[in-house]
Structure formats: C-alpha cells, structure tokens
Amino acid sequence: MTETFVALDPKSAYEQAVNKYGTGIKLLSAKQVKDENGKLWAELSVSVPEDYLEEDVVEKNHLEEAAAEENTQEVSVQEEIISEEPITEEAESESETALLEELAALKVQLALMKEELLPQGQESVSSKVKTLFMEKGIAAKWLDKVLASLMGNSILSDERLLLSYILEEIDESLEIREESLDVAKIIMLVGPTGVGKTTTIAKLAARYAYMMDKPYKVGFLNLDSFKVGAFDQLGHYADIMQIEHVTIDSVSAFIKGLEQLSDYDIILVDTAGMSPYDTQKFIKTIEFVQSDVAKKLEVNLLLAATVKYEDMDDIYKNFSFLNLHSVIISKFDETRHLGSLLNFMLLYKVPMSYFSVGQEVPDDLLLASKEYLLERFIGDLDG
C-alpha cells in the first residue's frame, strides 16, 4: 500500500507518515509541488508494509486527530506570514533549491533514525559497512547518499550484499575518458612537481608511435625550463625513440614550435611542475593554454595515487580552470591504499584516461580502467 503526504517542508510530511504508520514505512519518492496559488509544498510518497495492523492505524489516527486542530492553526499562521509579501522569481528559485536540499538531507536523516531504533550497544550492518569504507578513505557524505537510497531495502541487513552494492555504486560513479586519436592534437600534461610528467609523456609517446594498430607521428615540446635537467631527460627519451624534440621558453616560441611540428599527428607538451599555490607559474601556463593554436589542445592533469585527499582537492581546484580534458594517475606502484584517490574521483566525477603503474617505459602505462582501480581497492578493503 502506498500513500502520499503533503506539508510545508519534507520533515513535516515525513512526520505525518510516521505518526500514522510508524517507522516501518519506506520512502518511495520526494518532490516539490505547487498548489493553484503557486505556493510550494513538499510531497512524500511512502510504502506501508502489508502486515501493518489495522488497529495500529486506528490508534494513530486518533492521535493525529487530537493534534490536527493545533497543526491547522500553525499552518494558517505560516500562510498568513508568507502571503504578506509577493513571491519573486528569485525567491521562488531559492525556495525550490532549499526544498531540494531538504529532501536530500531528509533521506540521510531517515537512515539515522533507523540506527537510533537499534538496541543499545548493537551496531547495524549499514553502520558497520559505512565505517569500513570510511576507514579506507571514502567520504561519509557520499556513503550517506548511497545508504539513504536503500531505506527500507533488505540489502541494508545483509553485510555481503551491502558491500557488493556499494562497490557497484562506486563502479557506476567512476568516469573513464576513452582514448581517441582520430584527429591530430596537442596533448599537454600539467601537475605538481615530482608527479612524473616527463616519464609519463615518454610512455605516451612510445605507445602512440610504436604500440598502436598504426604508428602515429609524434613530437615533443618542452615547456619545463624551470626544472634542472628537464630538457636533457626528455631529450634522452626523444633520442632513444627517434622523436622530434623542441624546447620552448615563451609563448611566441610555443607558436613557432607548433608550426615546426604542424604535420605531426600528436604533439606532447611537457610543462613545469608547480605547487598549486604558485601564481607566477600558473599565469605562465595559462598563457600557453590560451594561445591561438591550429590543432585541438587537450590539457591533462597528472595526479599521484600516493597524494592524500586534501592535497588532491587543492591541486584539482587550482588546475581545473585550465579546462581539463582528463586526469592521468601516476605512482600506482608506490601505494596499496587507494581510498583517497577513489574518494576524489567519486566526489568530483573527473574522467580518467591513463594509469602509470611503474617506472618502465613504455610498459608501465595502462588505459584507465574501473576494474583495475576497484580490484586494487578491494584488495585493500579485504586487508
């Protein structure tokens, strides 16, 4: 059996449902509706268990009727106050946003109410599983949304099924940027110091030039004039792979370098490693990115799997204004704990393109894969 409850806010509507049927109800939907006067209300639909006793309904109806007069008076006062001022489009939009936020928060509140009904000292399955994922680096707010969507579902009482469900939700939420080489392009790598940009560029070059179904003509542009030996390192890889290599120290030289490599399929651009707080280097990088270039320009952020979430957050926020095409993850070989990385990907929904899993060029480069990431995470979860 299903029933709909309407009130001024989601919490009040849910309280109506609980007062009538108790906490055994399951929330089916929550939305905002307008009455004929354009006023916004919260509408909740709930499912009532079939075995709910009729006498319980009668008893709760009596309680509900006893409080009805007082509630009616309170609503009338609220309506009077609201009608004193005209509702502008901006105010209505803010009201809709606030209501949607309330609806989302309500689902989490429902989950917490369920927890409170347990005997003292008994930990629920959902609480136990949530704690496990949080200990591995997954944010509580993301887990709360997943758990709230399961309100009233038997999965919440089965630890094995709940673990599997959350892992499936992680898999669904991760985004992959498929490799596409159908048009000539410039691929620029940006990121903090020491993340492995130069080595990763060498791996990409080897992949495109020698490991694809057809060989692509690849060239290097080196903007990393800040790092001692950067030119020598990239030049070393260029010599081994017989790849054209041009070093750049200004925007005008960047344009000339692109013209010099105009007939190349792929131009890989190495940039200076920088702190996310280094304004001077950021400004210089922006100048290169905003240059008027003939080929398609893709900017890829290189992130190390070893970096803690808070630093990933800072790095991404500062580099994201470069209109990032994807994220390449490096240093998989230097950590077993990927919770922080997964958490970052879940919260920001950043598409991943490649994984660098070791120091060997060109072998230790993989196309980004949800399966690879989850297998590594599950190994840590089991540990």
Q: pLDDT tens across 332-378, in order?
A: 999 989 999 999 999 888 899 999 999 888 889 999 999 999 999 98
In this structure, of 3-7, 57-61, 129-133, 366-370, the range with the lowest mean pLDDT score is 57-61
CA 1 to chain centre: 36
Give the residue-averaged pLDDT of 70-86. Answer: 43
Q: What is the CATH number of the domain that holds 308?
A: 3.40.50.300
Per-residue confidence (pLDDT) for residue 82, from 0 to 100:
38
Whether residue 379 lies inside any domain: the answer is: no
Tally the domains of the chain: 3
User: Is 215 found in the same domain as 156?
Assistant: no
Residue 83 predicted with pLDDT over 50? no
User: Is 267 found in the same domain as 152?
Assistant: no
Per-residue confidence (pLDDT) for residue 228, from 0 to 100:
46
- Do residues 309 and 278 make contact, with C-beta atoms less than 8 angstroms apart? no
Question: What is the residue range of 363's domain?
Answer: 185-369
User: Is 340 found in the same domain as 321?
Assistant: yes
Whether residue 377 lies inside any domain: the answer is: no
Phi-psi sector, 280: left (phi>0), alpha (psi -120 to 50), beta: alpha
Per-residue confidence (pLDDT) for residue 298, from 0 to 100:
94
319 CB neighbour count, 10 Å cutoff = 21
How many Å apart are CA 284 and CA 322, to the nearest integer?
12
Per-residue confidence (pLDDT) for residue 11, from 0 to 100:
66
Residue 40 predicted with pLDDT over 80? no
How many Å apart are CA 140 and CA 187, to the nearest integer?
36
User: Is 160 found in the same domain as 256?
Assistant: no
Which of 93, 117, 141 finishes a domain?
117
User: Is 354 found in the same domain as 287?
Assistant: yes
Whether residue 374 lies inside any domain: the answer is: no
Whether residue 7 lies inside any domain: the answer is: yes
Whether residue 179 lies inside any domain: the answer is: no
Per-residue confidence (pLDDT) for residue 25, from 0 to 100:
74
Cis omega before residue 276 (within 30°)?
A: no
Whether residue 362 lies inside any domain: the answer is: yes
User: Is 130 found in the same domain as 92?
Assistant: no
